[in-house]
């Protein structure tokens, strides 16, 4: 149990946990952006307002089925279908998320590169030696 506690207490694991939580929250935001703003516009261009419900039926509808002809209802009835509208929505969601993550990594790389070019602060001993040198020069 102590090995597990040491593993969890390491900084990398905590950083990873924070990243997963923030990533999940950010994923929800991007999903809403895609589902509620972008895909309705794409659907309007292609002739419908709900692009995520576009599908191709691959098999017959059971004779006993008398419900709605929507993607969700037919899928619940067991009709084989290709839900390409939902796939395109998910793909757009992924591309947006990947682009934002790329931009974050790129910015972090620039920040890290800039931080590496800043000369390190002198050590305390070096400061003391400089003070001694300056005192000796002054005499």
pLDDT of the residue at 134:
92
pLDDT of the residue at 7:
67
Task: Answer for the pair 81, 55: CB distance below 8 angstroms, yes or no.
Answer: yes
Q: What DSSP letter does each residue of 37-106 carry, written as one string? A: IIHHHHHHHTT-S-GGG--EE-SPPPTT--S--SHHHHHHTT--EE-HHHHHHHHHHHHHHHHHHHHHHH
pLDDT of the residue at 9:
67
- What residues does each domain of the chain span? 2-138
Q: Is the pTM of this model over 0.85?
A: no
pLDDT of the chain, 139 residues: tens digit per residue: 777 777 666 667 777 777 888 888 888 888 888 888 888 887 788 776 667 778 899 988 888 888 888 888 888 888 899 988 888 888 888 888 888 888 888 888 888 777 777 676 777 888 888 889 999 999 8
Contacts of 79 (CB under 8 A, 6+ apart): 57, 58, 59, 60, 61, 62, 65
Strand partners, 81: 57
pLDDT of the residue at 67:
85
CATH superfamily for domain 2-138: Large-conductance mechanosensitive channel, MscL; domain 1 (1.10.1200.120)
Give the residue among 48, 121, 120, 139 at the shortest CA–CA distance from 88: 48
pLDDT of the residue at 10:
67
């Amino acid at each position: 149990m102590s090995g597990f506690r040491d593993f969890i207490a390491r900084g990398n694991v905590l950083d990873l946990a924070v990243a997963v939580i923030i990533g999940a929250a950010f994923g929800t935001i991007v999903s809403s952006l895609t589902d509620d703003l972008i895909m309705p516009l794409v659907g309007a261009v292609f002739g419908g307002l709900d692009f995520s419900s576009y599908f191709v039926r691959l098999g017959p509808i059971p004779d006993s089925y008398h419900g709605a002809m929507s993607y969700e209802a037919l899928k619940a009835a067991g009709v084989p279908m290709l839900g390409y509208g939902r796939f395109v929505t998910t793909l757009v969601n992924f591309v947006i998320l990947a682009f934002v993550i790329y931009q974050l990594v790129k910015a972090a790389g620039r920040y890290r590169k800039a931080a590496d070019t800043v000369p390190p602060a002198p050590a305390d001993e070096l400061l003391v030696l400089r003070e001694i040198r300056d005192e000796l020069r002054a005499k």
